[in-house]
Structure 1
Amino acid sequence: MSFTGNFEDRLMIRELMETYADGVNQRSTEIWASTWADESEWNLTVVPGMEALKGKQNIVAGWEQSMTLFPFVFMAITPGFIRVDGNTATARSYTAEVAVMEDGTDLRPRGQYDDELVKIDGQWFFKRRKFMSLHGE
């Protein structure tokens, strides 16, 4: 079974993924940053210089810088699996995005996140996110 562990934790993790996408769609640093643990890592392998950002502060700064390249971005996210084991979890999710670059170029990437998550004081956070492009830019 792809979804294992406590149902409430799995729901909280799904909501964390949805909050991440909402932060992108609202272009809200506050919302987006709230999904990351302080000691975290983001591997955005499709963007030079963002292949291995470490620490929440560096991750958020990299995201803010990259968002300046896109006057419009929309992200939808769907979990593929969530496996909870106590205060840690692993998950996979799939993204569909539409982005418009400053020059008007449309991008429509489809991707996959492989995640490690941690529960701190009753709240789930991304500990490590690795993005892989499945199709598109």
Structure 2
Amino acid sequence: MTTLQDITDRVEIEALRGEFTDAVMTRDYDRFAALFTVDGAMRIPEVSELVGRTEIRAGIERMQGFWDYFVQTIHPGTIQLAGDTATGRSYISEFGRLRDGSSHLNYAVYHDRYQRTQDGWKFTERVYEIRYIDSAPLTGSVP
């Protein structure tokens, strides 16, 4: 049976995932780091492993600095609740052009672990798994 608390938790976790993408897109690095627990981790295999808010903030700012433009769209996935913790997946499509002129179109999955805190739900871990990558030059431009 689904309880009102289950529904509330799912809505709050989905909002957390939306805040993540919004913080990336607006380059709000402080807000981005605050979406993680103090000892939270963001892992991008073969690229970066960031642990703790300070590393996460510095790492996302460094990585975003490589992009001329970047667009990330999140698509809802699963959420499995377990009291004050939860796990889930969300699906990502991204594209952009790096400052070196290379282009990327990615489809990926975030594998997540969440924790209920005094400040609401936070990521304890977010692992990025690329499912498809295309590095063909993008034909569009930034207005």
Larger Rg: 2
Q: Tell me, what secondary structure is at the counterpart of 1:19? A: helix
Q: Tell me, what secondary structure is at the counterpart of 1:13? A: helix
Question: CA separation in 1, counterparts of 2:40 and 2:119?
Answer: 17
- 2:13 matched residue in structure 1: 13
List aligned pairs for 1:52-71, cutoff 5 A: 52-71=49-68
Gaps of 5+ in 2: 135-143
- 2:98 matched residue in structure 1: 101
Identity percentage over the alignment? 26
Q: Summarize the Cα distance change of 1:7–1:122 in structure 2 as closer, same or farther, 3 Å threshold.
A: farther
- 2:69 matched residue in structure 1: 72
The alpha-carbon deviation at position 122 of structure 1 amounts to 5.1
- Count of matched residue positions in the alignment of Structure 1 and Structure 2: 130
Q: Does the Cα contact within 8 Å between 1:37 and 1:56 map onto a contact in 2?
A: yes
Q: Does the Cα contact within 8 Å between 2:42 and 2:56 map onto a contact in 1?
A: yes
Question: CA separation in 1, counterparts of 2:60 and 2:33?
Answer: 9
Q: Does the Cα contact within 8 Å between 1:46 and 1:133 map onto a contact in 2?
A: no
Q: Does the Cα contact within 8 Å between 2:73 and 2:93 map onto a contact in 1?
A: yes
TM-score (normalizing by structure 2)? 0.85
Question: CA separation in 2, counterparts of 1:35 and 1:122?
Answer: 10
AA in 1 matched with 2:39: E
Whether 1:117 aligns to 2:109 is no
- 1:33 matched residue in structure 2: 33
The alpha-carbon deviation at position 93 of structure 1 amounts to 0.6
Q: Which moved more, 1:104-113 or 1:89-98?
A: 104-113
Gaps of 5+ in 1: none
The alpha-carbon deviation at position 71 of structure 1 amounts to 2.0
Deviations 1:88-127 (A, max 9, x none): 0001011001121003322111100111100101500000
Q: Does the Cα contact within 8 Å between 1:79 and 1:91 map onto a contact in 2?
A: no
Extract structure 1 runs of 4+ deviating beyond 6 A: none
**Root mean square deviation, CA, Å:** 1.4
The alpha-carbon deviation at position 31 of structure 1 amounts to 2.6
Question: CA separation in 1, counterparts of 2:15 and 2:61?
Answer: 22
